[in-house]
Amino acid sequence: MARTGTAREKILAATLKLVREKGFTATTVDDLCTAAGVTKGAFFHHFASKEALGVAAAEHWSATTSAFFAAAPYHRVDDPMERLLAYIQFRRDILRGELAEFTCLVGTMVQEVYAEHPAIGAACNASISGHATTLEPDIAEAMRKRGWTPDGSMTGWSAASLALHTQAVLQGAFILAKCSGGPAIAEESVDHLSRYIRMLFGAPPAEPAA
Amino acid sequence: MARTGTAREKILAATLKLVREKGFTATTVDDLCTAAGVTKGAFFHHFASKEALGVAAAEHWSATTSAFFAAAPYHRVDDPMERLLAYIQFRRDILRGELAEFTCLVGTMVQEVYAEHPAIGAACNASISGHATTLEPDIAEAMRKRGWTPDGSMTGWSAASLALHTQAVLQGAFILAKCSGGPAIAEESVDHLSRYIRMLFGAPPAEPAA
């Protein structure tokens, strides 16, 4: 059982590495078996198909990144807006190393698979929107501290929409990082996001968007 | 010559459609020949390899989107900040139809190819950063109207970085659209971007970022 579990983990780890390097379709089962050091038989013992692997990889990504972010230091900041900004600074701080190390598995996969493999697309969506949901309580608390309702009825933007926007900026920043070959432009986009959030909470409630 | 030109155009049009539907690697030369109604001989007459097609498709995308945006009505707005906001509203307005119709060829391709096909990655970068460059004069003019230098020495952000940030938000918004199966969340991210830009230019120069 332990060996079986280890093989599954090795295949998932190889998937996270290779898909972030060259995408889901370009990563073949043979590539994964070689990288994980497992046989094709072992692969198909654990995953009925490459699509099933894609779903499992997105779920594994969700589980490991959830644990990683749950343990991150930004949660210890007292003020909810400052806690959100500390989260964003943390995201900026981890834009390090190789592109395949700091970019997002599920943001990469969904680009290719959303139409052809809806099950993988749904798992990618669950990962990104699930992570966004972890930010909503802090945003809602920061809004309530200013006398604003988190549903956006007073501001024209809701806690949920700002949480998703942070993920849009990060995903777009990863694309610019891949375009430019490094994190510098991505860091500047993350700085724009921090500046936006600081202004948003520093200013009085704006008119609802037209 | 005219028929040859037409075959090339048909292959490029099929590339734009299929790659936005299922990614670069999943789009085979056979798929493209079928969709374009050309023979494999004709394909390889026009493109030496699939990589050469990827470069040509990114360049074709740059050319057609450049013409499309050059002809768009936002250029007729007088005030440079309002012109930038009209551009963003225009980007919001064209989030319509099928996901493969409104999402970005080069943002999709670069995710997969940046490491394996650097020539395609460079063409994707030229497309995205080249488009961002078209926004810089308006941003620089809006900054100068406020007594700020466009290099960011007074604001902590440059015209170039804000121009690239608009593209990061749009690219990230496309990913959220693919995740959620439609443009609604993408529209909200674009609204956050508009709100940011309005606040950025309405407020006095901020302290340079740490």
pLDDT for B129 equals: 97
Least Cα separation, residue A37 to chain B (angstroms):
22
Residue A149 DSSP symbol: -
pLDDT for B19 equals: 97
For tokens 């190819």, the residue is: B113
With an 8 Å Cβ cutoff, are A26 and B21 in contact? no
Query: Which residues of chain A lie closer than 8 angstroms to B189, CB-CB?
Result: 161, 164-165, 168-169
CB A123 within 8 A of CB A106: yes
Residues lower than pLDDT 50 in chain A: 1-3, 204-210
Residue of chain A whose alpha carbon sits nearest to that of B189? A165
pLDDT for A6 equals: 86
**A97-136 burial string, b = 16+ CB within 10 Å, else e?**
eebbebbbbbbbbbbbbbbebeebbbbbbbbbbebbeebb
Query: Which residues of chain B lie closer than 8 angstroms to A208, CB-CB?
Result: none
Least Cα separation, residue B37 to chain A (angstroms):
22
With an 8 Å Cβ cutoff, are A178 and B110 in contact? yes
CA geometry: angle at A51 spanning A50 and A56, to 5°? 95
Structure-derived torsion over alpha carbons of residues B136, B142, B145, B150, reported in degrees to the nearest 10:
-40
Least Cα separation, residue A176 to chain B (angstroms):
7
Question: How many other CB atoms are found less than 10 A from the CB of residue A158?
Answer: 19
With an 8 Å Cβ cutoff, are B192 and A26 in contact? no
pLDDT for B203 equals: 52
ipTM of the complex: 0.93
Instruction: Please list the pLDDT of chain B residue by residue as tens digits (210 residues).
Output: 334 458 999 999 999 999 999 999 999 999 999 999 999 999 999 999 999 999 999 999 999 999 999 999 999 999 999 999 999 999 999 999 999 999 999 999 999 999 999 999 999 999 999 999 999 999 999 999 999 999 999 999 999 999 999 999 999 999 999 999 999 999 999 999 999 999 999 854 444 444
Residue of B111, B120, B135, B151 for testing the chain A interface, max A β-carbons within 10 Å? B111
Q: What is the pTM of this model?
A: 0.93
Of B108, B161, B196, the CB nearest to A111: B108
